[in-house]
Amino acid sequence: MQKHTDRTMRESTPSTDGINWAEVRANFNLQPDWADFTSFMLSSHPKPVREAITELADRIDARPEWAELAALEPGEANMIFQAKSAIARYVGAQPDEFALVQSTTAGLGLLYAGLQLHPGDEILLSEHDHYSHHEAARRKAEKCGAVTRFVSLYEDGAAVTEDDLIDRLIGALTARTRVVGLTWVYSGSGVRMPVRKAADAIRAWYGARPSPLIVVDGVHGCGVLDEPVDGLGVDFFVSGVHKWMHGPRGTGFIWGGTASWRYVEPTIPTFELDADVYGAWVGRKHLPPTRASFVSPGGFVAYEYLYAVPAAIGFLTSIGKTEICRRVLDLNTRLREGLAALPGVRLITPLPERMSAGIVCFEVNGLDPRDVVAGLATRHIRSATTPYPRSYARLAATIENSGTDVESAIDAVAGL
């Protein structure tokens, strides 16, 4: 008991970065006496987000029409613009390069549905991408006669290197590849793709020939890795805001370079009614070349959640993006190292930090992953399994966790 108390006291004092992480953690209304390592799926709302949602909901209940009017205001008073601007500042891009969506899945679905592909064109994905990425690409291919191909980037995630990933990816390219789908951090293994190196290698392989569009499922890197999305060298980047960014549930985005959006056809009518959109409708004309705002799906949404996005970004900014990313990487490095040292435990995620991020996958000899999750739950540790054909147990530490939580999780796995 004294050991636990000492750890708790250390967590309540400012760390070497000057941040009191216990105070940060106190913003989350997590179940007491539990260590939750599943926030990578859906974050608990921090206090500023809860308060913003409540205030906005009360305002909309009192005057429902305000929700729509706020989305039509000109300039910086526009609440949609404010949400985009907040995201843009935090992830590193320009507000007009973003389409707002409900989730990573919705973003991938809208993006692939709108890509201009033709019979015989190839979409190259990896065997390790999420179901949502695979299905978005497959459905597009079936509708337009394109072909979806898959490459295995590794057999043993724990041993893979950056060169291994890129060599296998480049070896699968062909002259007919029109889209390459990547994942920044693979949720089934925790392997981190060196996206910038991969993008550069893809374009180098094509040389003077037109290179394929590069689409990234970035949700498990966004908010964990301190790299701006517009510096990754890709065409499109899709992420939810309600995972590692601790934003309101049901919020996400598609980022695209300005020159890349022209290759996408909008699927759902937008409610970002600028002069071009409204004028095209009134005049029964075609829209001009696609901009990001054309792809944001219209319709009435949970406005109190969408308009609370700036509150989430404000909370993160008050702590510091660099400090948050460093904290999350440090906690998960401690988690990987602790699990790797346990007899009977096999780490699936690479141990080196440059090859991993915030997701830690592992297996315990003789135990089904579901039994590992159930066993950890008896010790008040929340974990999850990976939803893939080959499943593993999975833990992920966020700023909702403490160093004590990490040590408790390691001890709990050892107890299995």
Cβ–Cβ < 8 Å for 363, 343: no
Same domain, 166 and 27: no
Same domain, 282 and 327: no
Same domain, 112 and 198: yes
Bridge partners of 385?
393
Q: Give the whole-angstrom CA distance, residue 168 versus residue 183.
A: 15
Count CA atoms within 13 Å of residue 391 on its CB side.
14
Cβ–Cβ < 8 Å for 22, 11: yes
Q: Give the whole-angstrom CA distance, residue 28 versus residue 31.
A: 9
Same domain, 349 and 236: no
In single-letter form, the type of residue at position 327 comes to R
Domain final residue, candidates 282, 298, 316: 316
Which CATH number characterizes residue 21's domain?
A: 3.90.1150.10
Same domain, 105 and 230: yes
Q: Quote the pTM value.
A: 0.95
Each residue's pLDDT, cut to its tens digit, for the chain (416 residues) gives: 333 333 443 454 456 678 999 999 999 999 999 999 999 999 999 999 999 999 999 999 999 999 999 999 999 999 999 999 999 999 999 999 999 999 999 999 999 999 999 999 999 999 999 999 999 999 999 999 999 999 999 999 999 999 999 999 999 999 999 999 999 999 999 999 999 999 999 999 999 999 999 999 999 999 999 999 999 999 999 999 999 999 999 999 999 999 999 999 999 999 998 889 989 999 999 999 999 999 999 999 999 999 999 999 999 999 999 999 999 999 999 999 999 999 999 999 999 999 999 999 999 999 999 999 999 999 999 999 999 999 999 999 999 999 999 999 999 999 99
Q: Give the whole-angstrom CA distance, residue 281 versus residue 294.
A: 13
Same domain, 355 and 287: no
The residue behind tokens 């590692």 is: 244
- What b/e readout covers 15-45, taking b as 16+ CB neighbours within 10 angstroms? beeebebbebbebbeeeeeebbbbbbeebbb
Same domain, 296 and 158: yes
The domain of 354 spans 2-46+319-415
Cβ–Cβ < 8 Å for 115, 339: no
Residues 6 or more apart whose CB falls under 8 angstroms from that of 180 comprise 123, 124, 125, 169, 173, 202, 212, 213, 214, 215
Same domain, 272 and 128: yes
Which CATH number characterizes residue 233's domain?
A: 3.40.640.10
Same domain, 223 and 179: yes
Cβ–Cβ < 8 Å for 246, 315: yes
Determine if residue 60 is left, alpha or beta; phi over 0 gives left, psi from -120 to 50 gives alpha, anything else beta.
Answer: alpha
Closest CA to 179 of 218, 134, 219, 221: 134
